Each structure stands twice: as structure tokens, then as C-alpha cells.
Amino acid sequence: MTDYRAAALTRADRAMLDYASKLTLRPGEVTRDDVERLRAAGFDDAAIHHVAQITALFAYYNRVVDGLGGAAEPEW
């Protein structure tokens, strides 16, 4: 699957992926409303922090690898 929006997901999963996608691709556009959508989908403060932290961590890892000229493993 190349687009999560075409998948049959729960409301919570879709909200999480919408948030993670926006945080990854357009971090300067994330607002309190985005966080509130997570809360409305059932995420508490700890879960929201986890989503933000995991998303940011993977963005960081990818930038480090890209910055060092790393290439993806063939199986990925």
C-alpha cells in the first residue's frame, strides 16, 4: 500500500497518520487543532507525546542517514 488514506483504518489510526504525515512534511503548519483532532480520536496527552516524539525521531534518523550519504538497504 502506498497511500494510507486508501486503507480501511480506525478513526484513531487515521488521525494519527494524518498528524504524523503533517508533522513530517509540513511541521511549520501543525497547530493546536491538529493536536485536538488526536484528542477527539481518543488519544490522551501521553499518547499524543509519543506520536510526536516517534515521528520526530524517525525524521531525525532519516536526515542523519541522508546527510551522511547513506543508501537504503535493497530489501527496504
Per-residue pLDDT of the chain (76 residues; tens, 9 = 90+): 688 888 999 999 999 999 999 999 999 999 999 999 999 999 999 999 999 999 999 999 999 998 999 877 777 6
The CATH number given to 9-67 is: 1.20.1290.10
Counting beta carbons within 10 angstroms of the beta carbon of residue 41, is it exposed (0 to 12), middle (13 to 18) or buried (19 or more)? middle
How do the domains of the chain map onto residue ranges? 9-67
Give the pLDDT score at 33: 98
pLDDT given for residue 76 in this prediction? 61
Residue 72 has a pLDDT of 72
- Long-range contact set of residues 3-12: C-beta below 8 Å, sequence gap at least 24: 11/41, 11/42, 12/41, 12/42, 12/43
The whole model's pTM is what? 0.84
pLDDT of residue 74: 75
